[in-house]
Amino acid sequence: MEIILAIVVASAVIFFGALISMGNERQRKAIDGLREQLVLWAVQDLKIKHEHLAQTVQVHDPLHWLSQVSGRMLGQEVSLQILEAFQETQSIVCADTTGDHKIIFTTLSPIEIKKLAFGRQAKLSNFATGNPLLSLPKRVVIHEFSILSCGFLFDLEFPLAWIKLTGWSVEKRERLWMYLIP
């Protein structure tokens, strides 16, 4: 009799444990579904706000804008002055008037620069153009500017500022690279 009672109690515990486990799994799935819907709603809301702001974004002083973005990235105030521009590599060389830094801004990533530097005609073009991107020192500090690092409107402000600074279009480019030469 005691054995039967022990078996019934053990069976009841296992049965109720299985019911609770199934209920928890159903709740977990419902919570996951709610979380997915919330994420989709938030992404859509950001897209709507972004598209609305795309029509009103303006960059009045592109050099000041570039100085502010660089300052936020470096964690210090930066005041830039353009020294030189190179159309073939879509780059501008700037000097920081508050420090001793030479800064190169370009739309080319480090991988693209390596391809240029080690290309077949790199040696000739290096001497012919004097482009500093083709002969970067090893101690260069590289920063990537994008929406994630520079703010929600970077992808809208960057093309406007770049065209005003250089006169060159940056189609399908959402990143700007900063090479800080000490």
Taking only the tens place, the pLDDT of each residue in 34-72 is 999 998 998 898 888 888 888 888 889 999 999 999 888
Looking at the structure, tell me whether residues 109 and 40 fall in a common domain.
Answer: no
103: β partners: 94, 180
**Mean pLDDT, residues 122-130 taken together:** 52
Report which of 116, 142, 145, 119 is spatially closest to residue 131, judged by C-alpha positions.
116
Looking at the structure, tell me whether residues 72 and 38 fall in a common domain.
Answer: no
Cα–Cα–Cα angle for 81, 64, 135, rounded to 5 degrees: 40
Whether the pLDDT of residue 143 is over 90: the answer is: yes
Place of tokens 């101690």: 139
Looking at the structure, tell me whether residues 45 and 95 fall in a common domain.
Answer: no
Percentage with pLDDT > 70 across the chain: 92
Which stretches does DSSP call E strand in 28-100?
A: 80-86, 91-96
Looking at the structure, tell me whether residues 51 and 95 fall in a common domain.
Answer: no
Its domain, for residue 98, covers 62-181
Looking at the structure, tell me whether residues 43 and 87 fall in a common domain.
Answer: no
- pLDDT at residue number 77: 85
Identify the band that residue 167 occupies on the pLDDT scale cut at 50, 70 and 90. confident
Looking at the structure, tell me whether residues 119 and 67 fall in a common domain.
Answer: yes
Whether the pLDDT of residue 78 is over 80: the answer is: yes
What's the structural domain count of the chain?
A: 2
- pLDDT at residue number 145: 92
**Mean pLDDT, residues 83-107 taken together:** 84
